[in-house]
Each structure stands twice: as C-alpha cells, then as structure tokens.
Amino acid sequence: MSMGWTSAVAGLALLAVGRLSETTPPVSLAAQQGQSATLRVQLATRDTLVSHEAPNRLTLTTPWSKTQVQPSGTRHSNPAFASYFAQVKPMTFKVSVPASVKPGNYPAQLGGELFVCDMRDKVCTLRPVQVPVHIRVGATAQIRSTTLTLRDQDLKPRGRRL
C-alpha cells in the first residue's frame, strides 16, 4: 500500500470482518461425468477497491479437487491508490468431474479472503468469502458455465468509522 494511503486508512478506518455468504446466494453448476463446468467470479465494483499487494485468493473446493485463483487486473492509475486494482479481471475456476462419479448433487464451496477498501466510507477490511456451490452431476446436465458477480454491497466492509 502506498505510504500516504496507508496513513489515511489507518486514521479513518476500523478493520471489520464479516462473511460474504450473508448477502450472496448459493451458486449452481452442472456437468456430466467425465466433463467439466466453469465458475467465473466477476467483481463489478465502483466504490470498492481490491488490493493487489495483499495475499488475496479464492479457492473452489469440490469433492474431487481444490483450485486456487488470485485476482489480477489493471493497477489503479491514481498514485494515491497505486496498491489497488482499478479493474479486476474475472477469475475462472474449471470444475472437472471424474468419469467415475455417480449422478447426483454434490456440495462444493467457494472460499477465501479479499482485502478491500470502500472509497466512500474510507473503511478497509479483510473480507472472508464463503459461497456455497451446488454441483449437479448427470447425463442431462445443462448449466456448464455460470458467473458469480460480486458487487459493492457484497464486498463493502462491515464496520464503523473511528
């Protein structure tokens, strides 16, 4: 984080932690045995910035695999926000279902942490991400790709100003 922004945030914000799943509904995917499905996580934020210096990562854990993705994107052009992304590229998780998996519904979990700052309220926080994912495996699976869009209200730090 840039020195000026770090000082401003330290003077104006209280670290707050809240679970993302309180506002985000479960995500559904479907795939056939031996095939794959794709979960894309998109950050559609205007007032919330994601740090590119923090160890941000999201992990999709299924009964068959665990995949981690770190946010990437364009750095902010404003020097005061140089340690943040101006725009984050969509994060893509490929779910490969082994051919030996029996048809049925399987639970999965999208989890991780994102260090975000709300530019309006001047509050920064480490936001845990916990979103249930339901995977339906069967011969007629239709939902092979879906996008989870996280907005400002999903990522907004839950805390109070000092």
Provide the CB-side half-sphere exposure for 88 (13 A, CA).
29
CATH code of the domain containing 78: 2.60.40
Domain assignment present for residue 13? The answer is yes
Point out the least confidently predicted range of 12-26, 99-113, 120-134: 12-26
- The H or E element containing residue 6 is helix 3-12
The C-alpha atoms of residue 133 and residue 110 are separated, in whole angstroms, by 7
CA angle 128–44–108, rounded 5-degree value = 45
pLDDT band at 91, cuts 50/70/90?
Answer: very high
Range of the domain at 104: 3-143
What tokens does 145 get?
A: 């790709």
Tens digits of per-residue pLDDT, 37-66? 999 999 988 889 999 999 999 999 999 999
Domain assignment present for residue 155? The answer is no
Domain assignment present for residue 148? The answer is no
The four Cα atoms 158, 150, 129, 52 give a dihedral, to 10 degrees, of: -90
Work out how many domains the chain is built from and give that number: 1
Prediction pTM value = 0.80
pLDDT of residue 7: 32
